[in-house]
């Protein structure tokens, strides 16, 4: 069976890393797997990227060009919004020339393909959703709007009150294009996102299943805490609270403000904060706790060491699908605290692998962090965290589930 995984990038960004991990897991099982990307950063010969300098430059420019229609909405929020209108990517031609048995789409915004391109792909399509974009009028997270359940328009993400705005146009384009493909299967990577997709008007008649991302648990495993801290120049005698995300301090959805408020309620003598994904801001954040900013970490080895150095990982996102950070932290045996929203409960078992705080209640978030740090059975939490990932998210376990899905799609 020949599988083609399609994503904007191979290893840059959360969706890319998840897609690439699946690609690697499939190869280990003996599957014929390739990746097709708009921007290639790895040296993997199984990843097909732009071949010429011109194609590489265009691949970098397409996200900016695709976003042009959004700029006329000056009252828009900071939530990402993708029109996916940009033509001439050549994506469909590349896919159809390769003739895969199954085309497995992942994150294909950023100018990688026009919405209309989906209907032109030959053969079955499996589409893993890393956010809500596939079934909205263009936003990647709907800010609790919920209009996708009927039809988009008057989009709060765009700051629009017009019923026939850009979101309405994009929603209609999706409706037409999606209806033209006879064999489309949607994968919600979390149970939450699968349920949201099922409730959407665009996928109400489409097969929607829930399957997670895989993780290599042989690699992501616990590392000696003292050695980890020495390598990262972190204190050996403090409780360390870890927080990180792409744009960790600038993306409001990631909950940096909520984390800041929660930390105000915690001990500052014995607890310190570690932030990755963001460099130290010019204006101090004013935390009670001493803070260590590690900036961008570009390899999994550094991440494994960092997770192992921490006593607790906090993921205070306001909307979240299936967080790579949570999965990686648990695999390394570090409990996680987050709000009980989105796909967090797929990973965090309350007071067993971490703590699920009441949505957006900062006081409960602080209580959860304190509960983990002071838990008398802390070592059990760490072991439970690791076992949860081994049981449900290990590469071998998840790859076999995807192979079963591909086979069922081919039989359809």
Domain definitions of the chain by residue range:
2-214+394-411, 225-392
For domain 2-214+394-411, give the CATH number.
3.40.50.2000
Q: What is the rounded CA–CA span in Å between residue 224 and residue 236? A: 12
Instruction: Please say if the pLDDT value at position 245 is more than 70.
Output: no
Integer angstrom CA distances of residue 251 from 52, 247, 345, 364: 34, 6, 22, 22
Q: What is the rounded CA–CA span in Å between residue 207 and residue 187? A: 9
Strands (E) in 161-212, as ranges, are 184-188, 207-210
Instruction: Please say if the pLDDT value at position 164 is more than 90.
Output: yes
| Fold: same for 2-214+394-411 and 225-392 | yes
Q: Is 305 helix (H, G, I), strand (E, B) or coil?
A: helix
Whether 236 contacts 230, CB under 8 Å: yes
Q: Check residue 98 and give its pLDDT.
A: 96
Instruction: Please say if the pLDDT value at position 187 is more than 70.
Output: yes
**Opening angle at CA 328, ends 349 and 297, nearest 5:** 145
Nearest alpha-carbon partner for 49 in 63, 64, 34: 34
Q: How confident is the model over 110-156, as pLDDT tens digits?
A: 999 999 999 999 999 999 999 999 999 999 999 999 999 999 999 99
Q: Check residue 298 and give its pLDDT.
A: 77
CATH of 225-392, picked from 3.20.20.410, 3.40.50.2000, 1.20.1260.60, 3.40.1710.10, is: 3.40.50.2000
Instruction: Please say if the pLDDT value at position 268 is more than 90.
Output: no
Whether 291 contacts 272, CB under 8 Å: yes
Q: What confidence category does residue 56 fall into, taking pLDDT thresholds of 50, 70 and 90?
A: confident
Tokens read off for 342 = 């989105």
319 C-beta neighbours (distance < 10 Å), count: 20
Q: Check residue 89 and give its pLDDT.
A: 83
Instruction: Please say if the pLDDT value at position 12 is more than 90.
Output: no
Q: How confident is the model over 335-350, as pLDDT tens digits?
A: 999 999 999 999 999 9
Strands (E) in 62-155, as ranges, are 102-105, 125-129
Burial class from Cβ neighbours inside 10 Å (0-12, 13-18, 19+) for residue 298 reads exposed
Tokens read off for 203 = 């996928």
Residues ≥6 apart with Cβ < 8 Å to 234: 228, 240, 272, 274, 292, 309
Q: Check residue 280 and give its pLDDT.
A: 74
Q: Is the pTM of this model over 0.85?
A: yes
Instruction: Please say if the pLDDT value at position 366 is more than 70.
Output: yes
Instruction: Please say if the pLDDT value at position 248 is more than 60.
Output: no
Instruction: Please say if the pLDDT value at position 217 is more than 60.
Output: yes
Q: What confidence category does residue 283 fall into, taking pLDDT thresholds of 50, 70 and 90?
A: low
Q: What is the rounded CA–CA span in Å between residue 226 and residue 318? A: 32
Q: What confidence category does residue 253 fall into, taking pLDDT thresholds of 50, 70 and 90?
A: confident
Q: Is 292 helix (H, G, I), strand (E, B) or coil?
A: strand
* H or E segment and range at residue 357: strand 354-357
Instruction: Please say if the pLDDT value at position 251 is more than 80.
Output: no
Q: What is the rounded CA–CA span in Å between residue 336 and residue 262? A: 15
Q: Check residue 128 and give its pLDDT.
A: 97
Q: How confident is the model over 78-120, as pLDDT tens digits?
A: 899 999 999 888 899 999 999 999 999 999 999 999 999 999 9
Question: What mean pLDDT do residues 241-251 have?
Answer: 72
Q: Check residue 250 and give its pLDDT.
A: 59
Instruction: Please say if the pLDDT value at position 287 is more than 80.
Output: no
Strand partners, 35: 5, 47
């Amino acid at each position: 069976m020949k599988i083609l995984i399609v994503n904007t990038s191979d290893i840059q960004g959360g969706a890319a890393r998840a897609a690439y991990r699946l690609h690697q897991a499939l190869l280990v099982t003996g599957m014929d797997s390739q990746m097709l990307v708009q921007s290639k950063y790895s040296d993997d010969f199984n990843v097909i990227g732009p071949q010429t300098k011109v194609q590489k430059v265009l691949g970098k420019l397409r996200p900016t060009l695709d976003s042009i229609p959004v700029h006329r909405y000056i009252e828009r929020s900071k939530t990402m919004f993708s029109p996916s209108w940009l033509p001439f990517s050549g994506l469909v031609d590349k896919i159809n020339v390769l003739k895969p048995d199954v085309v497995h789409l992942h994150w294909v915004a950023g100018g990688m393909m026009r919405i209309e391109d989906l209907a032109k792909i030959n053969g079955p399509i499996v589409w893993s959703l890393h956010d809500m974009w596939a079934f909205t009028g263009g936003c990647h997270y709907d800010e609790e709007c919920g209009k996708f359940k009927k039809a988009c328009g008057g989009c709060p993400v765009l700051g629009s009150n017009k019923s026939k705005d850009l979101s309405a146009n994009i929603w209609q384009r999706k409706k037409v294009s999606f209806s033209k493909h006879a064999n489309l299967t949607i994968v919600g990577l979390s149970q939450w996102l699968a349920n949201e997709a099922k409730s959407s008007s665009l996928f109400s008649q489409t097969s929607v299943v829930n399957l997670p991302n895989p993780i290599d648990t042989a690699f992501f495993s616990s590392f000696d805490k003292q050695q980890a801290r020495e390598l990262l120049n972190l204190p050996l005698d403090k409780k360390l609270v870890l927080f990180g995300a792409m744009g960790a301090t600038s993306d409001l959805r990631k909950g940096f403000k909520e984390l800041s408020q929660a930390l105000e309620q915690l001990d500052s003598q014995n607890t310190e904060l570690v932030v990755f994904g963001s460099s130290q801001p010019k204006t101090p954040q004013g935390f009670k706790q001493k803070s260590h900013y590690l900036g961008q970490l570009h390899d999994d080895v550094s991440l494994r060491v960092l997770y192992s150095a921490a006593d607790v990982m906090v993921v205070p996102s306001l909307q979240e699908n299936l967080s790579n950070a949570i999965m990686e932290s648990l695999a390394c045996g570090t409990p996680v605290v987050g709000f009980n929203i989105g796909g967090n409960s797929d990973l965090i078992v309350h007071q067993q692998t971490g703590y699920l705080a009441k949505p957006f209640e900062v006081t409960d978030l602080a209580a959860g962090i304190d509960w983990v740090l002071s838990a008398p059975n802390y070592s059990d939490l760490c072991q439970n965290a690791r076992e949860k990932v081994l049981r449900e998210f290990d590469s071998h376990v998840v790859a076999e589930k995807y192979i079963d899905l591909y086979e069922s799609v081919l039989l359809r």
